[in-house]
Every structure is written in C-alpha cells, then in structure tokens.
C-alpha cells in the first residue's frame, strides 16, 4: 500500500503509513505512549498538509485506540493506564473544538464503563472474600471539564450537541455511577442561557433545578449550591418573559430560606444572585422595575448574609433603570444613588466607585430633560473629584461633553452647544486622533436643537449648516460621521415650516445630495425614501411659488416610478397625493381645479386597483370640495361631498364628513353665481343635524353663512340674515374677524331698509372699539384694504371719506395699527 505524504509537525518531519495497514495490537505496552503521540500529532496536522481521507481514518483510529487499546478490555487497565486516559481527556478538552470534545466524551464514557465494571467486580469479590480489584471512581472534576468544553463549543456554534443531548450523556454517566455535582448542572444551565431560545431556556433551567432539589432530599451531596441557583435566576433574567421578575425573586427567596435552614448554607444568596434578579427586572420593561430594583438594593444593604454586599454592578443596574425611566424624578433618584456611591468610595469602599461612565449617564438623563443647570453642576463635581483624587476613573470624557451639548441644545442654548462641539472637533483635527472626534449623535443633538428654534428662518439655516459640517467631515477621513436619512429629514422639515423663498431649492439640494451619496456608496442609511420625498413635496406646497405644482407633480411621479421598479421604501402615501392636490389648489391657476380632480381620481383608481393604504379619507375629500368651492362650483362641491358621505355609509370610517368639510361646502355657495345660493346654503345649514353624523355648527360655519348672505346682493333679507348670524356668533362668544364685520357692513350698505345706515355705523364703531381694546385681532393687509373699500362705498357719514383718504395713502408696507380709522 502506498505511503501518505510527509506530514510536518514543527521542525520534526515523520511519515505516517495508511491507517488501514496499522496493526495497533502489535505494539507493546511500552510503545503505546509513543504510538499515541504519533497519531495525536497526525490528527492535529493542518488539512492542507494531509489527505482528507487519511485525516478521517486517523481520527477514527485514535478514538478506537483510546477506547480499546490504551485501556484494553474492561478490568485490564492499571492505575497508570487510567491516569494516562484522564490526562488525554484533559488534553482533548483543552482544544475547545468539536474534535476535542468528541475525543474527551469517548474517553469519559469508557472510564465510566470501567468504573461500573470495577464496582460490580468488587462486590462479587467481597462476596467470595478474595482480594478486591483496584478501586476507581471518575472524579467530578473530569466530568465537569468535558461539560465545560461542550458549553464553550456550544456557545461559539462549533458543535451541534444540544443541551438535551448533553443531559442524556449525564444520565448515561450517572447510570454507570459517575455522579454529577452542582457545577455540572450549573454549566449546562449556563450553556442553555448563552445560546438558544432565551424564551425557553429558563423553563429547562428551572426543570433541572427542581429535579436537583428532589434528588437532594435523599442525597444531600446533590444539593444545588449558590452558583447553580444564581445561574437559573440569570436564565430567567435574560429571557424577558413576563413572569421572569417574579420567578427570579422567588428563587432569591428560596436561597434565603435554604440558607436560614442551616444545613443548606452553601445555597445562600450572594451579590451576583441579587444582580441577576435586578437584571430580570431591568429586562421586564415594567413600570415598577426601578422601584423594585431599588428595594432589592436596600435589601442588600440590610442583609446579614456575609456574601451579600452591594457592589458597583448592583448600583449600576438601579441607576441605569432610573436614568432610562420615564418618571419625572428619574434623574434625581439616579443622582442620589450616585452620590451615595461617591460617599462610600470616599470612605474607602473601592468596590462601588462611581466612575466617569456613571456620571455621564446621569448627566445625559438630566440633559434629555433640558436641565442644563444640573448637568453643569455634575460636570463641575466630576472635575473636582478628579482634581482632588487624581483617579483616572474620574477623568471627564467625551460623553460628559455630549451631556452638556444635549442639555444646552434642549435648553435653547444651541449656539453655545455648537461652540462646545466645534471645540471638540478642532481638538480632534489638531491632534489627528479619531478617538476623540465627537460621535455623529453629538452633531445630531445640536442639529435637532436648531430645528426647534422659534425663529424658523434661523432654525432651517443653522441646522443645515451643522448637517453640511457632518458631510464635510465624513468626506475628510471620518466616514462614520456620514449623516443618515433622518438627519437630512430633520433639516428638510425645518425648511418646510418657513416662508423663506430659499426653502424649496434648499430642500431640493439636500434631496439631490442624498441621491448622489446613495448612488456612489450604496449606503442604505442615507438612501432617500418616501418620507424624504414627501417633505420635499410639502416644502414646495407651502412655498406658493409659481413652479410649485409642477415641481410637486414631478416629485410624486418619481416616487411612483421608483416604487413600481420594486423599491418598497418609495411607496407614495395618501398624504403625498393630498399634498399635490393642495399645491395645485394654492397655485390659483386656471386649470387648478381640474388638476386637483385629476390627482383625486388617480388616488381613487390606485385604491380600487389594490393600493388599500390610499383609500380616500375625509381630509382628501374636503380638499376636493374646497377646490370646487374656490371656483364657485357649488354643484361639483355637493357631488364630492355626497360621494364622501356615501363612502362613509359603505364602511369607510375615515371618510366620515366632519364640520370642516361641511363648512367648505357652504363656502362653495359664497362664490356661486346661482341666484338662489343663499336659500340653498340656508337649507344645508338647517340640515346639518339631520345628517346623523353628530355635527354641530361651529365658529367657521356661522362665518360662512354670513359670507353667503353678504354676497346675495338681490335678496331682500340678506342684511337681516347677516345680522342674525352675527348675533349668534357673538352670543356663543366666538371671535368675529374684521372680514366678518366687513361682510355684515357690506350687506347693510346694500339694504333698502332706511335704518340700515345707522345700524352699519353702530356696527363699525363697535368694530373700531373692539380692535383698539384687543377683543378683535388686527387684520392683515388685504382684509384691511377690503374693509376700507367697503366703508368708502358706504353711506356712513364722514367715515366713508376717512376710508377713501386712507386708501389713497395705503401701501403693503404700511403697518396696520389698532386705529383702523382715525378719530372723528
């Protein structure tokens, strides 16, 4: 048979003959150790230096030799052979891999059989009163080494032997007399916790503990110890099951009961037992978690058990719970515990040192609530402690600076926060140390702070400046600072809220930057999505620029195209179509109404075709109604309103007409050329309650009715109806606008009633008084101009001349004062 290639181990080459030709039984006992070494080294040879088939044969040969040739038949091994087998087992488990575990497991099973055989022989010999054979018992240390090897290999996904399989192995060993101790079961429980279904792990761990407790009733040596029970608590703590905190506390109480029993003193709780129970509460997300954890901490302080002493981890669990709590006094409770730790540290207890990480966590908790004063106080305290102790664990770090940045940003001191951020950036650039470069979240905190500035123009410009700084740094050696889509969206949202003429183009520029970055890098974090496009749509809609509807339509079409190409993140929402409709409506173009209707029909058709999320709601219908209203098309408005009502009756709860959509329907009659528009609007008004929708007229309803009657020039009761609704408006304590007064005065001007002029004069004087006293808000320029025109055309003595004079000198830059007309 041909020889295998030369195998090299270190600097000593040796040739291995094909395993099939090896007669292992031909080696004498003195050769065994040498032969075993050769095979072991061959098996450990890297794959590229050995044929795969040779490797597998050698592995099987080594396993067979270990089971049968080193130890030989049952009863034949000497004490030296058994010791040698144990040494080989320990060497195998030290490899911490699948092959090592399988070899160790094989040896262990053989040793267990040897133990069982020797025990049976000893009993027979004792019966016949002859010399007993050697006494051999597999030490629990050997068993635990194999279980520990399984635990680490199982954790690292290097082995497919499940916890259930390892429990079967333990049962097999116990049937041969190999007794497992608490550490054995503890390691199995730890393996279950480290890998697998965390939801199921505590159930198996609890079952193992319960079984051990039952066995311990008759076999005291099997009593579960502190470590074992603590690991079961850990399994519950990491599971996040609803019952986990309750089960953990129950086990903790069991440990106390066993310890107080006296005979089970090794099962008492320790600091880790309490920490594991706190972990169960921390993972429960329960509202009472912080209170429960602090109660456990207090219990630790008062405990008479020597092994139970609060340490840094115990405090940290409770402090972090309060830090992340939604309770208003969460930061204060966390701070109180940290100060307690600091006092203990000053008294010589180094186990509870509240290092800089704890300080920074508490500072961030205060910062998130905008409590800048407390953040600054803690920062000063930390600096003082570091200066007085020189302990590097108290040296202020970047996280402390972050807390200050957050606090200042939320406190309205964005400029100061940005200044601190700039200092950190400049220091990192100067020292060329990426480790001290502020994290992206620092920039985002400042950016968000700027977006909340009351000055909308400054909010948009400053937040964009911070965003551009992030982009610049990300391109100059700090790619981790690349802003994500949410950062872009924050700035775009700030632009959408301002009337700045630069807003739409700025948003378009940001959108282009996002698309370019994604195209170049394929970085999903910066990829534009439907939300991004909808913010651009909204900005154009609010800009009222001439090209706004065209640009909005182009954006929506791009979204639709990309979505149809398979990008689910670009699926247009109902809001996107609604924004397009509003944009066309605001454009005041001649074809605006038809464009609104086109967008509406497109939306409805897509819904019919299966896009369920596009089902029109009340707001969509009201936009279309309003579009018809602005064109004076009462018939069209009524048709859409009836469609909305029908849709609601057919089960579309979101299409339920509200009073605002009803008001827009009434507005359609104001601009209608129908000679009977006032009577038809009156009929609608009287029928509000008959719709069965629970609607009641509000302020805007009454204002719309005043407008309808005011524009019904030829109706003899127009002035009377305007006054009637105006009285109802005042009776309900609704504020009447200058435009409303103007409409009533306009109706009185056209009335043929001889008392109409005096009534108009009285109403005008009331208006002037209410504006001067602040009961009615000053009008904007256009409503004021319309008011003056109405007064100038009236027959109100002298007031009409004053209005004409003001009209001649009026210009858009003239500030509107509380004196709408000069004193007579």
Q: Which of 711, 734, 757 is the last residue of a domain?
A: 734
Residue 714 lies in a domain: yes
With residue 43 as reference, give the H or E element that holds it: helix 29-43
Residue 657 lies in a domain: yes
Go through 191-213 and write b for each residue having 16 or more CB atoms within 10 A of its CB, e for each that does not: bbbbbeebeebbbbbbebbeebb
Q: Are 236 and 266 in contact (CB under 8 A)?
A: no
Q: Are 111 and 82 in contact (CB under 8 A)?
A: yes
pLDDT value, residue 22:
39
Task: Note whether 727 and 761 are same-domain residues.
Answer: no
- Measuring CA to CA, which residue among 617, 619, 612, 657 is closest to residue 638? 657
* Rounded CA separation 201/276 (Å): 15
Residue 115 lies in a domain: no
Residue 363 lies in a domain: no
| Other residues' Cβ atoms within 10 Å of the Cβ of residue 69 | 17
Task: Note whether 625 and 715 are same-domain residues.
Answer: yes
Query: Which tokens belong to 2?
Result: 């041909």
SS (H, E, C) 786-823: HHHHHHHCCCCCCHHHHHHHHHHHCCCCCCCCCCCCCC
SS (H, E, C) 272-336: HHHHHHHHHHHHHCCCCHHHHHHHHHHHHHHCCCCCCCCCHHHHHHHHHHHHCCCCCCHHHHHHH
pLDDT value, residue 30:
44
Q: Are 766 and 776 in contact (CB under 8 A)?
A: no
DSSP state of 627: H
* Rounded CA separation 55/501 (Å): 76
Q: Which of 682, 712, 734 is the last residue of a domain?
A: 734
pLDDT value, residue 405:
85
CA angle 483, 484, 487 (to 5 degrees): 75
Tell me the average confidence (pLDDT) per consecutive run of 10 residues in the chain, 824 residues long. Answer: 35 35 40 49 51 53 50 81 91 92 93 89 64 78 93 91 90 88 85 78 87 85 87 89 93 90 84 94 91 95 91 95 92 96 93 93 88 90 93 88 84 86 89 85 91 91 94 91 94 92 93 93 92 95 91 94 93 94 90 91 92 92 91 90 91 90 91 89 88 87 93 87 93 92 92 91 92 89 92 91 90 85 80
Residue 169 lies in a domain: no
DSSP state of 65: I
Task: Note whether 719 and 773 are same-domain residues.
Answer: no
Which residue is listed with tokens 């800048």? 372
| 776 phi-psi bin (left φ>0, alpha ψ -120 to 50, beta other) | beta
Task: Note whether 746 and 672 are same-domain residues.
Answer: no
Residue 47 lies in a domain: no
Task: Note whether 729 and 792 are same-domain residues.
Answer: no
pLDDT value, residue 148:
93
Task: Note whether 751 and 646 are same-domain residues.
Answer: no
Which residue is listed with tokens 């490899």? 95
Residue 498 lies in a domain: no
pLDDT value, residue 195:
78
Query: Which tokens belong to 765?
Result: 């004087």
Task: Note whether 621 and 725 are same-domain residues.
Answer: yes
Query: Which tokens belong to 775?
Result: 């009961």
Q: Which of 734, 758, 782 is the last residue of a domain?
A: 734
Task: Note whether 700 and 803 are same-domain residues.
Answer: no
Task: Note whether 699 and 660 are same-domain residues.
Answer: yes
* Rounded CA separation 717/682 (Å): 12
With residue 643 as reference, give the H or E element that holds it: helix 634-649
Counted domains in the chain: 2
Query: Domain range spanning residue 633?
Result: 616-734
Go through 743-770 and write b for each residue having 16 or more CB atoms within 10 A of its CB, e for each that does not: bbbbbbbbbeeeebbebbbebbeebbeb
* Rounded CA separation 650/642 (Å): 12
Residue 670 lies in a domain: yes
Task: Note whether 654 and 716 are same-domain residues.
Answer: yes
Task: Note whether 743 and 730 are same-domain residues.
Answer: no
Task: Note whether 816 and 765 are same-domain residues.
Answer: yes
pLDDT value, residue 18:
36
């Amino acid at each position: 048979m041909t020889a295998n290639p030369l195998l090299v181990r270190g600097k000593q080459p040796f040739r291995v003959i094909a395993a099939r030709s090896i007669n292992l039984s031909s080696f004498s006992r003195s050769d065994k150790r040498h032969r075993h070494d050769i095979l072991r080294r061959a098996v450990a040879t890297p794959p590229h230096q050995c044929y795969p088939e040779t490797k597998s044969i050698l592995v099987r040969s080594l396993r067979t030799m270990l089971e049968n040739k080193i130890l030989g038949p049952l009863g034949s091994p000497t004490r030296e052979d058994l010791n040698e087998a144990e040494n080989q087992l320990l060497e195998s488990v030290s490899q911490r891999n699948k092959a090592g575990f399988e070899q160790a497991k094989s040896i262990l099973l053989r040793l267990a059989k040897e133990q069982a055989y020797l025990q049976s022989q000893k009993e027979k010999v004792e019966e016949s009163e002859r010399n007993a054979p050697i006494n051999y018992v597999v030490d629990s240390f050997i068993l635990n080494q194999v279980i520990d090897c399984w635990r680490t290999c199982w954790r690292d996904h290097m082995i497919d032997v499940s916890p259930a399989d390892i429990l079967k192995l333990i049962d097999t060993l116990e049937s041969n007399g190999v007794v497992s101790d608490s550490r054995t079961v503890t390691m199995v429980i730890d393996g279950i916790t480290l890998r697998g279904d965390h939801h199921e792990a505590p159930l198996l761990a609890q079952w193992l503990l319960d079984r051990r407790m039952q066995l311990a009733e008759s076999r005291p040596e099997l009593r579960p110890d502190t470590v074992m029970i603590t690991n079961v608590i850990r399994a519950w703590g990491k599971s996040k099951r609803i019952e986990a905190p309750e089960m953990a506390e129950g086990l903790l109480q069991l440990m106390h009961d066993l310890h107080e029993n006296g005979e089970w003193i090794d099962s008492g709780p320790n600091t880790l037992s309490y920490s594991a129970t706190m972990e169960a509460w921390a993972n429960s997300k329960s509202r009472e978690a912080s209170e429960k954890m602090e109660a456990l901490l207090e219990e630790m302080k008062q405990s008479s058990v020597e092994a139970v002493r609060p340490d840094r981890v115990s405090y940290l669990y409770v402090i972090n719970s309060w830090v992340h709590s939604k309770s208003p006094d969460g930061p204060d409770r966390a701070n109180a515990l940290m100060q307690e730790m600091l006092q203990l540290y000053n008294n010589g207890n180094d186990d509870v040192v509240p290092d800089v990480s704890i300080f920074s966590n508490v500072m961030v908790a205060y910062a998130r609530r905008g409590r800048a004063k407390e953040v600054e106080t803690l920062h000063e305290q930390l600096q003082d402690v570091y200066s007085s102790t020189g302990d590097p664990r108290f040296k202020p770090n970047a996280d402390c600076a972050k807390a200050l940045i957050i606090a200042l940003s939320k406190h309205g001191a964005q400029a100061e926060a940005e200044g601190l951020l700039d200092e950190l950036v400049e220091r990192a650039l100067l020292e060329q140390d990426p480790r001290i470069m502020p994290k992206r979240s620092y920039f985002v905190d400042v950016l968000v702070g700027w977006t909340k500035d009351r000055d909308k123009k400054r909010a948009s410009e400053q937040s964009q400046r911070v965003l551009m700084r992030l982009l610049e740094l990300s391109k100059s050696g700090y790619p981790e600072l690349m802003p994500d889509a949410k950062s872009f969206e924050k700035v775009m949202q700030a632009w959408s809220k301002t009337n700045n003429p630069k807003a739409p183009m700025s948003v378009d520029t940001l959108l282009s930057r996002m698309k370019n970055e994604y195209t170049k890098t394929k970085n999903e974090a910066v990829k534009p999505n439907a939300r991004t496009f909808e913010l651009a749509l909204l900005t154009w809609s609010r800009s009222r620029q001439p090209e706004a509807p065209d640009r909005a339509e182009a954006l929506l079409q791009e979204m639709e195209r990309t979505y149809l190409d398979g990008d689910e993140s670009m699926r247009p929402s109902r809001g996107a179509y609604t924004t397009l409709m509003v944009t066309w409506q605001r454009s005041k173009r001649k074809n605006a109404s038809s464009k609104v209707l086109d967008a509406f029909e497109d939306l409805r058709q897509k819904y019919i075709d299966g896009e369920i999320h596009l089902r029109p709601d009340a707001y969509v219908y009201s936009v279309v109604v309003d579009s018809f209203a602005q064109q004076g098309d009462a018939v069209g408005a009524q048709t859409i309103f009836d469609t909305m009502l029908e849709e609601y009756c057919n089960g579309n709860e979101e299409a339920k007409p509200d009073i605002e959509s009803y008001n827009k329907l009434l507005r359609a009659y104001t601009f209608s050329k129908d000679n009977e528009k006032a009577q038809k609007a009156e009929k609608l008004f009287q029928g509000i309650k008959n719709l069965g929708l629970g609607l009641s007229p509000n302020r805007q309803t009454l204002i719309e009715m005043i407008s309808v009657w005011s524009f019904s020039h030829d109706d003899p009761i127009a002035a009377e109806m305007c006054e009637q609704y105006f009285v109802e408006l005042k009776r309900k304590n609704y504020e009447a606008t200058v435009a409303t007064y103007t409409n009533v005065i306009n109706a009185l001007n056209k009335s043929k009633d001889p008392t109409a002029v005096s009534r108009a004069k009285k109403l005008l004087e009331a208006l002037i008084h209410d504006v001067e006293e602040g009961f009615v808000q000053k009008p904007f320029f256009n409503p004021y101009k319309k008011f003056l025109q109405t007064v100038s055309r009236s027959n109100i003595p002298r007031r009409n001349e004053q209005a004409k004079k003001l009209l001649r000198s009026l210009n858009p830059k003239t500030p509107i004062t509380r004196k709408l007309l000069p004193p007579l």
